Amino acid sequence: MPFIIFNKPFGVLSQFTDKSGRGTLADYLRRSSARVAGRLDFDSEGLLLLTDHGPLQARITQPGSRLPKTYWVQVEGEPPDTALERLRKGVALADGPSLPAGVERLSDAPVGVWPRHPPIRFRGNIPTAWLALTIVEGRNRQVRRMTAAIGFPTLRLIRVQIGPWELAGLVPGELREIATREAWSAIDRFR
């Protein structure tokens, strides 16, 4: 099976089955021996990698790999520079401090962001802001917990890059396949 780069839509689980009837990867991909290399929550969107090659999956997901993951994050409110600096230094979370994050304030929604269905909640008297946030960890709901820790809850979360792989124009539900050897080569060149 080839290495799969997939744009996971909002409201889809990062697995092939669900007893509750929620959307799954099976709605978009043929069921196979593929395993997800870096899950995304049901309410998060964007880049998801799948492979049936165990060593490649381990290289991507093992904590020691420190493979950077970049997200576009829409937050409630407009974080001041002091709040962003806290993210850059690492913030206290219930399961221990986060490692420092790369953070960039975006002037508007990033080019290429698609409308979300359903749309995020909108409050006319509370502005929103977009950030590009890069982390090297992968703890459960980490980005959401980090933005909440600085007082600016995440409204929308889109993963756009993992190491050398980018979403690169895929719309929700679309995928791109590459050969496993090409994926290995990409990750070897990345460092």
CATH code of residue 91: 3.30.70.1560
Domain count across the chain: 2
Check whether residue 77 and residue 150 sit in a common domain: yes
Tokens of 190: 């990345």
- For strand 154-162 and strand 45-51, is the pairing parallel, antiparallel, or unpaired? parallel
Average pLDDT over residues 158-165: 95
Assign 159 a pLDDT band (cuts: 50, 70, 90).
very high
Query: Catalytic annotation on 18?
Result: no
How far is residue 160's CA from residue 9's CA, in Å, rounded to a whole number? 12
Check whether residue 96 and residue 49 sit in a common domain: no
- What is the per-residue pLDDT for 31? 67
How far is residue 175's CA from residue 170's CA, in Å, rounded to a whole number? 7
Percent of the residues in the chain that have a pLDDT greater than 90, as a whole number: 66
Check whether residue 79 and residue 158 sit in a common domain: yes
Look up residue 125 and give its amino acid: N
Look up residue 172 and give its amino acid: P
Average pLDDT over residues 48-52: 93
- What is the per-residue pLDDT for 117? 85
Check whether residue 120 and residue 49 sit in a common domain: no
Check whether residue 152 and residue 176 sit in a common domain: no
> How many residues does the structure list for the chain?
191
Q: State the pTM of this model.
A: 0.94
Catalytic residue, chosen from 27, 41, 43, 52, is 41
Q: Is the pLDDT of residue 163 over 90?
A: yes
Check whether residue 88 and residue 150 sit in a common domain: yes
Cβ pair 59, 65 in contact under 8 A: yes
Q: Is the pLDDT of residue 1 over 80?
A: no
DSSP 8-state assignment for residue 55: H
- What is the per-residue pLDDT for 151? 96
pLDDT single digits (tens) 99-120: 999 999 998 888 889 988 888 8
Average pLDDT over residues 43-69: 89
Nearest to 87 by CA among 43, 141, 131: 131
Q: What is the CATH number of the domain that holds 33?
A: 3.30.70.580
Check whether residue 90 and residue 154 sit in a common domain: yes
Query: Scanning the structure block, which residue is given the tokens 């069921």?
Result: 31
Check whether residue 143 and residue 179 sit in a common domain: no
Cβ pair 86, 146 in contact under 8 A: no
Domain around 172: 1-65+164-191
Check whether residue 55 and residue 79 sit in a common domain: no
Check whether residue 58 and residue 74 sit in a common domain: no
Check whether residue 58 and residue 26 sit in a common domain: yes
Which residues touch 73 (CB under 8 Å, ≥6 apart)? Answer: 130, 131, 132, 133, 143, 147, 154, 156, 157, 158
Check whether residue 72 and residue 117 sit in a common domain: yes
